[in-house]
């Protein structure tokens, strides 16, 4: 009879990461393996590529099943999780593992709302998250995060002034809105806008982050191109409503990221305001803007469809109060944002893994 350790390892070797197509042993995800033959317990820590991994339950069930299959009934797995977020990191911003741009073609599709709730949900799932409001024409992150009157501190590093991001709801936040009085027009010209944004990004003292979510200005102009080219982000997320005019503009944003001189990997498409839902008619969904526009866009370009968020009054109310609905644990809406965050993290991990030099 093979020795117990071999059998445990053999069982674990049959647990496959569905995204990467290899076993958790081969991928080096199994750590701190220990067992007690008398009590029939195997304990281990599974090192994930993101704390927001939506596959935790899957792994736990698989490990349990494969152990019982190999060792017999009565054996129990105790699985703990830890995470080392995968991500290449940018050469310009070395402490940031994943710089993720949230873009859309059209304004008003809910890009900022998605970016904010995504950041909050990722942070709640244990990731270190920053949020940069790059919509210098209409910064809305200060309102959405309840930071309307916040002023970032300035610190000096090697004689250079740097801004400290403001921590709220577990997220490190920076916005031009903190520096320019609310309501003041910001008539940026192209190069000036790009420079301002670059400055905001590099002159902020970001701590080490798993994800820096960037709420981009709408459109496909200079600012978007410059940011994409200068900072080599790990990925872009495209937000659209199902409405055809919004989808057409989102398509332009998507193809801009895929241009040969830009080449930002598109992590996927998010459909916002997918349908209207109200507690008064809970069994009905109203497809005000048509159905499936986001999914069709994703399919057309062979990128993942990451999820949909309904059109809800609750989102408007909570957003105006500066309390992102992703915070309200246990509500269906918070769950939708958390699911979305899991899918985004998963897409980023998959990509980081695919583009990493194989060892
Ligand atoms: N899923 C949603 N349901 C209801 N209202 C939403 C939803 N997403 C965004 N909104 C609202 O739509 C408006 C525009 O959203 P915003 O995030 O500022 O869009 P963008 O950044 O694309 O211009 C805001 O008033 C916001 O509260
Ligand atoms: Mg916005």
* E strand intervals along the chain: 16-17, 22-23, 30-36, 41-48, 76-83, 96-103, 129-133, 154-157, 160-163, 166-168, 171-175, 209-215, 235-240, 266-276, 305-311
149, 51: one domain: no
- Which protein residue's CA is at the shortest distance from atom 5 of ligand 1? 316
Strand ranges of the sheet holding 96-103, from the earlier edge strand across to the other edge: 166-168, 171-175, 129-133, 209-215, 96-103, 235-240, 266-276, 305-311
128, 209: one domain: yes
What domain range includes position 50?
4-83
Q: What are phi and psi of 262, to 5 degrees?
A: -110, -60
Does 88 map to a domain?
Answer: no
Ligand 1, from 319, 325, 326: best to mutate by most atoms within 8 Å of Cβ?
Answer: 319
- Residue finishing a domain among 44, 61, 83: 83
Ligand 1 binding pocket includes 104 (Cβ within 6 Å)? yes
Ligand 1 binding pocket includes 312 (Cβ within 6 Å)? yes
Q: Which ligand is nearest to the CA of 139?
A: 2
121, 164: one domain: yes
If you search the block for the tokens 């445990």, which residue do you land on? 8
CA of 284 relative to ligand 2 center, distance in Å:
29
49, 123: one domain: no
CA of 281 relative to ligand 2 center, distance in Å:
30
CA of 243 relative to ligand 2 center, distance in Å:
18
Ligand 1 binding pocket includes 309 (Cβ within 6 Å)? yes
CA of 30 relative to ligand 2 center, distance in Å:
41
Which residues, other chains included, contact 135 with Cβ-Cβ below 8 Å and sequence gap of 6+? 111, 112, 141, 215, 216, 217, 218
Whole-number Cα distances in Å, 249 to 154, 252, 305: 38, 5, 17
236, 300: one domain: yes
CA of 126 relative to ligand 2 center, distance in Å:
25
- Residue finishing a domain among 54, 83, 112: 83
Q: What is the CATH classification number for the domain harbouring 71?
A: 3.30.300.130
Residue 224 and residue 228: Cα distance in Å, rounded? 6
- Which protein residue's CA is at the shortest distance from atom 19 of ligand 1? 110
pLDDT by residue for the chain (359 residues), tens only, comes to 469 999 999 999 999 999 989 999 999 999 999 999 999 999 999 999 999 999 999 999 999 999 999 999 999 999 999 999 988 777 778 899 999 999 999 999 999 999 999 999 999 999 999 999 998 888 999 999 999 999 999 999 999 999 999 999 999 999 989 988 766 656 666 678 888 888 899 999 999 999 999 999 988 888 888 888 889 999 999 999 999 999 999 999 999 999 998 999 999 999 999 999 998 999 999 999 999 999 999 999 999 999 999 999 999 999 999 999 999 989 999 999 999 999 999 999 999 888 765 54
CA of 76 relative to ligand 1 center, distance in Å:
47
Ligand 1 binding pocket includes 316 (Cβ within 6 Å)? yes
Does 148 map to a domain?
Answer: yes
131, 58: one domain: no
pLDDT value at residue 359: 44
**DSSP designation for 176:** G
Does 190 map to a domain?
Answer: yes
DSSP secondary structure of 216-267? PPSSSSHHHHHHHHHH--SEEEEEE-SSHHHHHHHHHHHHHHHSTTT---EE
Ligand 1 binding pocket includes 272 (Cβ within 6 Å)? yes
Does 179 map to a domain?
Answer: yes
183, 306: one domain: yes
255, 167: one domain: yes
CA 88 and chain centroid, separation: 15
Residue 22 and residue 15: Cα distance in Å, rounded? 8
Ligand 1 binding pocket includes 110 (Cβ within 6 Å)? yes
Residue 244 and residue 239: Cα distance in Å, rounded? 13
Ligand 1 binding pocket includes 318 (Cβ within 6 Å)? no
195, 248: one domain: yes
Does 184 map to a domain?
Answer: yes
CA of 92 relative to ligand 2 center, distance in Å:
25
77, 103: one domain: no
Does 261 map to a domain?
Answer: yes
Q: What is the CATH classification number for the domain harbouring 112?
A: 3.40.50.300
Does 280 map to a domain?
Answer: yes
Atom of ligand 1 nearest to the CA of 108: 23
Helix (H) or strand (E) holding 19: none
- Residue finishing a domain among 58, 83, 108: 83
CA of 108 relative to ligand 1 center, distance in Å:
6
* E strand intervals along 104-147: 129-133
SS3 40: coil
How many structural domains are present in the chain?
2
Does 90 map to a domain?
Answer: no
Ligand 1 binding pocket includes 273 (Cβ within 6 Å)? yes
- Which protein residue's CA is at the shortest distance from atom 17 of ligand 1? 110
Count Cβ atoms below 10 Å from residue 78 Cβ, excluding itself.
15
118, 266: one domain: yes
**Can you name the residues that pair with 35 across neighbouring β-strands?**
42
14, 111: one domain: no
């Amino acid at each position: 009879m093979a020795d117990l350790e071999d059998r445990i390892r053999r069982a674990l070797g049959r647990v496959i990461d569905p995204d990467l197509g290899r076993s958790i042993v081969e991928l080096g995800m199994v750590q701190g393996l220990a067992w007690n033959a008398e009590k029939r317990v195997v304990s281990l820590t599974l090192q994930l590529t993101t704390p927001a991994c939506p596959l935790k339950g899957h792994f736990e069930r698989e490990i349990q099943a494969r152990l019982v299959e190999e060792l017999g009934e009565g054996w129990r797995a105790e699985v703990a999780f830890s995470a080392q977020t995968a991500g290449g990191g940018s050469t310009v911003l070395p402490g940031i593992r994943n710089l993720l741009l949230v873009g859309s073609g059209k304004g008003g599709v809910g890009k900022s709302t998605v970016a904010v709730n995504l950041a909050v949900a990722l942070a709640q799932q244990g990731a270190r998250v920053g949020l940069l409001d790059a919509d210098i024409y209409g910064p809305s992150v200060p309102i959405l995060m309840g930071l309307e009157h916040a002023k970032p501190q300035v610190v000096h590093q090697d004689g250079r002034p740097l801004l400290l991001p403001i921590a709220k709801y577990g997220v490190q936040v920076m916005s031009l809105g903190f520096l320019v009085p609310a309501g003041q027009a910001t008539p940026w010209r192209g190069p000036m806008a790009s420079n301002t944004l670059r400055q905001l990004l590099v002159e902020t003292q970001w701590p080490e982050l798993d994800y820096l979510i960037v709420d981009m200005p709408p459109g496909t102009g200079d600012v978007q191109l410059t940011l994409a080219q200068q900072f080599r982000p790990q990925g872009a997320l495209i937000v659209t409503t199902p409405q055809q005019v919004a989808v057409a503009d989102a398509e332009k944003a998507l193809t801009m990221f895929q241009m040969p001189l830009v080449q930002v990997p598109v992590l996927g498409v998010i459909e916002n305001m997918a349908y209207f839902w109200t507690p008064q008619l809970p069994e009905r969904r109203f497809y005000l803007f048509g159905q499936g526009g986001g999914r069709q866009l994703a399919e057309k370009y062979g990128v993942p469809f990451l999820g949909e968020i309904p059109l809800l009054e609750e989102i408007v109310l909570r957003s105006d109060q500066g309390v992102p609905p992703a915070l309200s644990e246990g509500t269906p809406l918070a769950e939708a944002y958390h699911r979305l965050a899991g899918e985004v993290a998963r897409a980023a991990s998959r990509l980081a893994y695919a583009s990493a030099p194989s060892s």
